[in-house]
Amino acid sequence: MSFKRLETDDFVISNDSITSTLWSDNVPTLTTFFSNSIQENSSAGTYYLSVYNTSSTEQQVQFDIAYCDALGSGSALYNNAVPIYSPTRTLYGQYRTMILEDENLNFIFGSSAQTGIDACGTTITSSTAVISDNFWMISLERARYKQSIFPGSLNLTLSSSTPGVHGAQISLTDNSNDITTVPYIAGTRAYQIVSGSNGNGISNNGGYTTNSGSYGIMFPDLGLIMLNPIALSYSIGLSPSRSNDSDGHNNTRLFTAISQSSFGLNSEETISSDYVFVRARNSEFNYSENPSFISGSTGEVIYTNFINAPQTYITTVGMYNDMNELVAVAKMSRPLLKDFTKEALIRVKLDF
Amino acid sequence: MGYLNNQVITVDAILTKKGRELLAKNDGSFRITQFALADDEIDYTLYNPTHPSGSSFYGEAIENMPLLEAFPLEQQIMKYKLVTLPRGTAKLPVLDLGYSAITLNQGASISITPQTLNYLGNSQTFETSGYALTVSDIRLLNTFTGLGIDTTAATNANTEATTALNQTLGTNVSSTIIGTQFSLRGTTINTLFAPTNTSINGTLTFIGLDSGARLTIPLTINYTT
């Protein structure tokens, strides 16, 4: 017999979290940023700006930048006779519906429960949370972040030509390593973005602005990074244009701030693996139908000592269904000797 | 006192083409219930029972060979299965077709009933689960059917083969059927024979589904005006 049935306890299911670099070519930190004039000047360009890793023909979108404004500021109106309705307002409503799940709520940067030290070393208290009616949204390409952003891996540096209170440059990260419970907004994880690195706000649990809340919110499961213009304007002088009925080029403003610096981020995904334990007992699988195992056409084994002490070499494990159909196969890295004195235990890993 | 090696060998499996197809169907047919082991790539003539260094070195030429990665085509892998037989077995199961090669004229038919020699204590027997027959190029045949096995797998395989006969329309693909008796009829399509070809060639591979015994013979279809 060549088939052996598997028992129930031969199967084990395992879920493993796999983290990896997020950007193309496995680069952990993106340091070169390119936009595409064709995309920028297209109808989609009025909504978002795609950012690429290279200017070559092999360029791949890494993330998109969109400026969102509840008042419709920063972009031309759809129709001059209808005030407020513009791409920036559409985008604001889109994200509010998706994340807050309530059209009457607004995004709040920071938390009234947070206390810490800001980027200037000033102790800040619970009054720092701010409600904002505009924000920048960095939407990561789905293929890049796979299943979710890996919390604690955000290292985004922004630069500005007009320094604010904290100068012209600031390094931002999520605060996932500063908190003990995972925070949620509606049904999705939401970490505050603070001044710091590798998931730690400066001076532990700090990194907020003094009066402008956090620098943004990271939504790992949605692949979104929301930036707070009030905090960025206060801290490094990076402000959007909020003029009515005119293109403020706000996507390009943030693109310029990012492209002068660096953007580090990792992805995370859960891989479900099926482990199947294949057991070959000492008395099993000791003969082979390999033509070189047989001498002649009548089936005699090639060597006489193979009659009582056969030796075979396992190279391949085939997994079959009830209909004897080969559905999965695994190869050994080198032949595994099998005879009547040996038993083999092989763990076959099936990833889905 | 040394430490015993308690490591389990871990290998990564890939889905075969059939496995992907069954997974996509999502009808429960992709359920692994059994396994088989094979020694594809091993050449036992490299085993040297006269090695001057002794029996520990008989398999020296085999044991360190690097192996190829798995192929996703199920017809190209698990070719030579390891089998469980009583100790002292001197003869392994082999297939007997009554033919060492098959040559058919265009439109001519043949019926083949494989038997297995040296299996389960019998000098010759028919395997309960039947036999799988694969033709390397379905274009060579007009009829390709398996009879005698009434399992879902056999029905599916035979239906797929019939579909392949009707739909390949000149595409060179292999096809597999299951049964205890097989009917073959040479193609009547003249265009397969290039202007100067008097015959076209392929192979027939028989596999005993219980014993794992395998036999490949040549198939030739002769052009008739």
Which of B5, B10, B11 should one mutate to test binding to chain A, selecting the residue with the greatest count of A CBs within 10 A? B11
Q: How far is residue B40's CA from residue A315's CA, in Å, rounded to a whole number?
A: 6
Q: What pLDDT is attached to residue B165?
A: 73
Q: How far is residue A292's CA from residue A271's CA, in Å, rounded to a whole number?
A: 41
DSSP conformation class of A96:
I
pLDDT band, residue A296 (cuts 50/70/90): confident
Task: Please write the tens of the pLDDT for every residue from A244-274.
Answer: 888 899 999 999 999 988 999 999 998 888 8
Phi–psi pair at A127, nearest 5 degrees: -90, 10
Chain A interface includes B21 (CB < 8 A): no
More confident residue, B36 or A295: B36
What's the mean pLDDT in A11-19?
89
* Residues of chain A contacting B59 with CB distance shorter than 8 Å: 311, 313, 337
Q: Of A33, A22, A24, give the one whose Cα is nearest residue A58.
A: A24
Residue A74 has pLDDT above 50, yes or no: yes
Cβ atoms of B22 and A325 closer than 8 Å: yes
Q: How far is residue B134's CA from residue B204's CA, in Å, rounded to a whole number?
A: 6
Q: How far is residue A343's CA from residue A281's CA, in Å, rounded to a whole number?
A: 5
* Backbone CA torsion sign across B51, B53, B54, B59: negative
pTM score, whole prediction:
0.66
Cβ atoms of A331 and B11 closer than 8 Å: yes
Which of A18, A272, A327 should one mutate to test binding to chain B, selecting the residue with the greatest count of B CBs within 10 A? A327
Neighbours of A83 (CB within 10 A): 12
Q: How far is residue B138's CA from residue B154's CA, in Å, rounded to a whole number?
A: 18
Q: How far is A17 from chain B (nearest CA, A)?
A: 17
Contact B11 A292 (CB under 8 A): no
What's the mean pLDDT in A189-213?
84
Q: How far is B30 from chain A (nearest CA, A)?
A: 6
Q: What pLDDT is attached to residue A170?
A: 94
What's the mean pLDDT in A37-61?
90
Residue A92 has pLDDT above 50, yes or no: yes
Distance of CA A243 to the CA centre of its chain: 34
Q: How far is residue A313's CA from residue B47's CA, in Å, rounded to a whole number?
A: 11
Residue A279's region, left for phi above 0, alpha for psi from -120 to 50, else beta, is beta
* Residues of chain B contacting A318 with CB distance shorter than 8 Å: 35-38, 77-78, 81
Q: What pLDDT is attached to residue A126?
A: 47
Q: Which residues pair with A169 in a beta bridge?
A: A159
Q: Which residues pair with A116 in a beta bridge?
A: A124
Q: Please report, for chain A, the start and end positions of each structural domain, with discontinuous segments joined by +.
A: 8-15+271-351, 23-264
Contact A326 B74 (CB under 8 A): yes
Phi–psi pair at A87, nearest 5 degrees: -55, -40
Contact B117 A298 (CB under 8 A): yes
Q: What pLDDT is attached to residue A117?
A: 60
* Residues of chain A contacting B64 with CB distance shorter than 8 Å: 334
Highest mean pLDDT among A113-127, A150-164, B17-31: A150-164
What's the mean pLDDT in A63-89?
92
Closest to A292 (Cβ–Cβ): which among B22, B45, B74?
B45
Q: What pLDDT is attached to residue A221?
A: 94
Q: Of A308, A313, A307, give the one whose Cα is nearest residue A337.
A: A313
Q: How far is A336 from chain B (nearest CA, A)?
A: 7
Q: How far is residue B20's CA from residue B152's CA, in Å, rounded to a whole number?
A: 19
Q: How far is residue B131's CA from residue B78's CA, in Å, rounded to a whole number?
A: 15
Cβ atoms of A135 and A216 closer than 8 Å: yes
Which residues make Cβ contacts (< 8 Å) with residue A239, sequence separation at least 6?
Answer: A229, A232, A233, A253
Chain A interface includes B170 (CB < 8 A): no
Residue A179 has pLDDT above 90, yes or no: no
Q: How far is residue A105's CA from residue A18's CA, in Å, rounded to a whole number?
A: 35
Rounded average pLDDT per 10-residue block, chain B, 225 residues: 62 89 84 93 89 86 87 85 90 89 92 90 85 87 89 82 69 80 89 83 89 88 86
Neighbours of B103 (CB within 10 A): 15
- Residue B85 amino acid letter: L
Q: What pLDDT is attached to residue A120?
A: 61
- Number of A:B CB contacts under 8 A? 276
Cβ atoms of B168 and B137 closer than 8 Å: no
Contact A319 B32 (CB under 8 A): yes
Cβ atoms of A324 and B129 closer than 8 Å: yes
Contact A315 B153 (CB under 8 A): no
Phi–psi pair at B182, nearest 5 degrees: -125, 140
Q: Of A178, A180, A169, A66, give the one whose Cα is nearest residue A119.
A: A169
Mean pLDDT, rounded, of chain A = 89
More confident residue, A321 or A119: A321
Q: Tell me the percentage of chain A whose pLDDT exceeds 70.
A: 94
Helix (H) or strand (E) holding B9: strand B9-15
Contact B30 A327 (CB under 8 A): yes
Q: Which residues pair with A167 in a beta bridge?
A: A164
Residue A207's region, left for phi above 0, alpha for psi from -120 to 50, else beta, is left
